[in-house]
Amino acid sequence: MRVRFAMGVAVLLLWAIAYGYWAPFPFQPTIVATAHHEHLSPYVVAAVIRVESRFRPDAVSNRGAIGLMQLMPTSAQWILVQMGRHGPLDLRNPQTNIQLGSWYLHYLLATYHGNLTLALAAYNGGPRTVDDWLSAKILSPHERGYARIPYPETANFVRRVRMFETVYRIMYVWV
């Protein structure tokens, strides 16, 4: 049984490397500390960062999302107020961006009763959009997969984050 498991892990790692899914873990101390503070898996936080920015703190999307976790400035201001903090925001600062993005991911997980699929879909597509899908019964409150997510970009985001979460769990089992 152990040999079979080890072989499976080895195959997954070789597949990840061969197809460009090697998963570096920069900012690991900040990610781990912040994830634990927000009661999140550091593997999920690292996977979100990998998918959103490929660990580039200076990343800016064509829609204006900034930093490692690709936060919109207006959302970041809202998060800051919800956290009871104030002051200038530097979304290119890795620690600031990881703290705000992790707080928001925890908020979404609480909003969707621990359902990571819905929380990730809301992180990417917005909570109003996910609420609309739930109201229209396009998605279920117990949704686990990404296949029924109507927006291809959001479905792909959820799929990739979950895949990288698995890769990080295997590669960085000691975190």
Give the catalytic positions in this structure.
52
Q: Which of 116, 104, 108 is nearest to 157 (CA)?
A: 116
Helices (H) and strands (E) in the chain, counts: 8, 0
Tally the C-alpha atoms within 13 A of residue 133's C-alpha that lie toward its C-beta. 25
Separation of alpha carbons 133 and 136, rounded Å? 5
Name residue, tokens 């990417």.
124
